[in-house]
Structure 1
Amino acid sequence: MFKGLGTAMITPFDKELNVDYNSLKTFVKYQLDNGVDSLIVLGTTGEAPAIEEEEREKIVNTVVEIVNKKIPVIVGTGTNNVNHVLKNNKVAESAGADGLLIVTPYYNKSTQKGLVEYFKYISERTTLPIIMYNVPSRTGMNILPETVVSIHENCKNVIGVKEASGNISQIGELFSIKPDSLKVFSGNDDQVLPIMSLGGDGLISVTSNVAPRPFVELTHSILNNDLEKARKLNNQFMKLNKLLFKEVNPIPVKYAVSLLGLCENVVRLPLVKASQETEKLLKEEMERLDLA
């Protein structure tokens, strides 16, 4: 689907909490101008659970139209209701999106066998390629390496996994048993170097909302085996990575993007604005990096 850097996009809101489509268009153009390899719309960073159905359709259509096939547009469609996932998939298909990011069911959770059946059921009802999303800290559900491989082998259009378990040992085990056809993307900015060094295809990034160009350079350096440059960039941006998760994502990154003048610092409940301490630390670090 893509190699290198995919930005897990924010969804801009105005001060009245409406989706700010003008800012959305500007933000997409900013990402394109900085050379990102893919855009991921309405994932965790895009506050997908707080987006209404009619907003979803307009957001996806807006991004697809602006991108105009220059790079892949991947839409987060996962929920814990399989029929809602199928509806969200239809929206992405109708808009002309290039792929789907589907998180494991949360709250009602599953067994590992249930995950295989879940993704099989969904994959049989869409023609778009699917990236599984493993983020146990959000879902309470972990996809084990053997299950990831089983889903890939049983679902012809499940082509990869976004790994955000944070468990490098587990991810290393996945690389040891997976076929070459299964793509692995780091779902954590602070683990891109080890995951891609193990053979990962890229990063689905939060930090690239505010620093797209450096993270394009970082991921491409790893792909080109320029580990010296990759280590330097990785170390340079590690503090920013950590600050962007000092509070629940996307609270800090929304503030950070607002410092660039690309959106208002507005999130929807149950999220609230970052604390003054977090804002102060983020502003200082972005100034140090010449980002703001």
Structure 2
Amino acid sequence: MNIFYGTGVAMVTPFQADGQVDYEGLKNLIEHLIDGGVQYLVSLGTTGESATLNADERKQVWAFTAKVVNKRVPLVAGIGGNNTHEVVEQVKEFNTEGYDAILSSSPHYNKPTQEGIYQHYKAIAQAAPLPIILYNVPSRTGSTIAAETTVRLARDFKNIIAIKEASGNFDLFNQLMRDKPEEFMVISGDDPVTLPMMALGAVGVISVIGNALPKPLSAMVQLLLNNDYKQAQKIHSSLIEFTRLMFVQGNPAGAKNALKHLGVCGETLRLPLVPVSSGIAEAIKKETQKLA
């Protein structure tokens, strides 16, 4: 599954001013990312505001995305939640045409034990028509997938092929890299630490900042895959302030503001998310113009 080596982007979902999905903006974004050299795309992850789309909207976005991409790059669908039965049913019903894997975050809010997390993913793995990428993001879910649990899942289910790791916990990274099966992939889920994670053996990133700046990010990740850390460090350093601005008032508000400045799509979000402040917007504009 080395189609997931390199740069993946967790795409935003553009909305029109009235809050409806902006399919023209989504098409523009897809072309922007493919032209920018990314290896694969993730549709309706957390960055895609999937929590505020209803079931019909999600199906329409997935189908539209697959149609526009037209198999030019691999596609991943974000399907997760804190009701295991509901997630399993969504996975069973998912139209896999054009898609290569499912990204599924660990259950939020419930705060399950490690055994609960294991059983949740076991149920998904047994039902899934596509390979599964786990997603560990404790800042959003309220619980962590321990390294031991990830390794256990990777060994027990061959269709669990990778984890998007966004815990920021390097003790966990170290243990995971040491103990995981050789073919199991660790993917950075946190833009600021992609470089050090790849130094430990991660195979790439599923990025937020890549929505706006796919070219420099893809170039950095490719350099890292080629073990050219000196040149990669230069790009990493140039992106530090932009990356900070992308998250300072929440994701995907920062990314959507940058995309607005680039003319790719608007910055409308669905409540409870709101656009960045005017001061942050001005700072994002300056960094975007400098780096794009």
Shorter-normalised TM range: over 0.9
Q: Is the 8 A contact 1:255 1:279 kept in 2?
A: yes
**In structure 2, distance between residues paired with 1:103 and 1:288:** 34
**In structure 1, distance between residues paired with 2:91 and 2:256:** 26
Match of 2:23 in 1: 21
How many residues of Structure 1 are paired with residues of Structure 2 in the alignment?
290
**In structure 2, distance between residues paired with 1:284 and 1:23:** 22
Deviations 1:221-279, CA, capped at 9 Å, x for gaps: 00011111111111110111111010111111111111111111100000011111211
Match of 2:145 in 1: 143
Q: Is the 8 A contact 2:96 2:129 kept in 1?
A: no
Residues 1:47 and 2:49 aligned together = yes
Match of 1:196 in 2: 198
Q: Is the 8 A contact 1:75 1:92 kept in 2?
A: no
DSSP-derived class of the 1:173 partner? helix
DSSP-derived class of the 1:257 partner? helix
**In structure 2, distance between residues paired with 1:237 and 1:272:** 24
Q: 1:91: Cα distance to partner?
A: 5.0
**In structure 1, distance between residues paired with 2:290 and 2:264:** 19
Match of 2:181 in 1: 179
Match of 2:225 in 1: 223
DSSP-derived class of the 1:27 partner? helix
Match of 1:88 in 2: 90
Match of 1:209 in 2: 211
**In structure 2, distance between residues paired with 1:68 and 1:166:** 34
- Give the aligned CA root-mean-square deviation in angstroms: 1.2
Q: Pick one of 103, 114, 126 that aligns with 1:101.
A: 103
Residues 1:8 and 2:10 aligned together = yes
Q: Is the 8 A contact 1:266 1:273 kept in 2?
A: yes
Return 5+ residue gaps in structure 1 as ranges. Answer: none
Return 5+ residue gaps in structure 2 as ranges. Answer: none
Q: 1:67: Cα distance to partner?
A: 1.4
**In structure 2, distance between residues paired with 1:253 and 1:87:** 31
Compared CA separation, residues 270 and 225, structure 1 to 2 (3 A) = same
**In structure 2, distance between residues paired with 1:177 and 1:37:** 27
DSSP-derived class of the 2:247 partner? coil
Aligned 1:29-178 pairs, distance under 5 A: 29-90=31-92, 92-178=94-180
| Sequence identity percentage | 40
**In structure 1, distance between residues paired with 2:225 and 2:40:** 16
Q: Is the 8 A contact 2:91 2:129 kept in 1?
A: no
Dislocated runs of 4+, deviation >4 Å:
none
